[in-house]
Amino acid sequence: MKALSFHPIAELVPSMSSDQFSELRRDIREHGVRVPIVLFEGMVLDGRNRATAWYDIHGNWDLPSTTFDGTPQDAVDFVRSHNITRRHLKPAQKAYFESQARAYLKPSKGRPKRNSGNFPSFPSQGKVAKAAGLDVKTIAKAGKAVKLGGDKIATALRNGHVSVDRALAIAKMPERKRDAALEDRNVPVKTIRNPKYDEHGRRVSIWAEYNRGVEAAARLVSRRGHGSEIVAEIRALKR
C-alpha cells in the first residue's frame, strides 16, 4: 500500500495522548490491527492512530483497511459517531469539530452548489448543536475563533487546552500576545490590551459611539441657552 495521508475530516478529531498511543502500539505489536482503518477519498478517515502505530512498527502502510462509500456529509457523520459521540471530549473540542466540519462542507470553488442536486443538504445548525450537547452560539464562537486566530487557536481548541470563550478572546488579541495567553491559563485575557476592547472587555467602538451621542446632546443643550450645570450633567453620562 502506498504512503497514506489523513483526511481533513479526520484531522478535526484530537489524537490520542502519548500514553494511550504507547499502549495501542504495544497491542498492535502483539496482536496486529484488529479493526481495519477506514479510507475515504484515498485518505484515512478513521484509524489515524492505528495506521501510525503500524507504520512505526513495520515501516509500511500494508495494514487491513476498508473503503467508506458515501458523501462528504456521510463521512462527517461517520467520524462524529465513531470519535466525537463515543469519546469523552470537552465542549470546546466538540464545538471545534462541528464548526470546522461545517466549514469543510460548505460549497466552494470546485464543489457543486447545494441547489444543483448533487450536493447533500445540511442538517440544521440547531440539530447539530443539540446532538453535540452544545448551543449554536458556542459552535459559532469556535468557528470565529479559528477564523481570527488561525492554526494555533485551532490546535488549542481541538486538543481541549482552552475554552471556546477564552479562545475567542485570545484570537481578538494582538498576535504578538496570543502565545503567552495560550501557554499560560492564568494570563487574564481581558487585561491584555486589545485595541478593539477596553479594560472591561467592552467594545471600544460601541462606547465611542455612545460618547459621541452624549457630546452631541450636550452641545445641542448648550446652543439652546441652557445653563452650564445642565451641560455638565449631560457630559457626566459619558463612559
Mean pLDDT by 10 residues, the chain (239 residues): 89 92 95 95 95 95 95 93 81 93 73 47 72 84 93 94 92 87 78 47 62 81 76 77
Q: Between β-strands 37-40 and 65-67, what pairing exists: parallel, antiparallel or unpaired?
A: parallel
Q: How far apart are CA 143 and CA 209, in angstroms?
A: 28
The pLDDT score that the predictor gives to residue 1 is 66
**For the whole model, what pTM was predicted?**
0.70
Radius of gyration of the chain (CA): 25
Residue 146's pLDDT is 95
The C-alpha atoms of residue 96 and residue 100 are separated, in whole angstroms, by 6
For residues 198, 201, 203, 206, the Cα torsion angle rounded to the nearest 10 degrees is -90
Which among 167, 125, 176, 161 has a CA at the least distance from the CA of 148?
167
pLDDT value at residue 122: 63
Kindly report the CATH class assigned to 100-194. mainly alpha
For the chain, report the end-to-end CA distance as a whole number of angstroms.
Answer: 66
CA nearest 28: which of 7, 44, 52, 60?
52
Grid cell locating 122: 445540511
Side-chain half-sphere CA neighbours of 164 within 13 A:
21
| Predicted local distance difference test score (pLDDT) of residue 13 | 93
Predicted pLDDT at 117: 47
**Domain locations in the chain as residue ranges:** 1-87, 100-194, 204-235
Please state, in angstroms and rounded to a whole number, the distance separating the CA atoms of residues 51 and 47.
6
* Three-state secondary structure of the chain: CCCCCECCCHHHCCCCCHHHHHHHHHHHHHHCCCCCEEEECCEEEECHHHHHHHHHHHCCCCCCEEECCCCHHHHHHHHHHHHHCCCCCCHHHHHHHHHHHHHHHCCCCCCCCHHHCCCCCCCCHHHHHHHHCCCHHHHHHHHHHHHHHCHHHHHHHHCCCCCHHHHHHHHCCCHHHHHHHHHCCCCCHHHCCECCECCCCCEHHHHHHHHHHHHHHHHHHHHCCCCHHHHHHHHCCCC
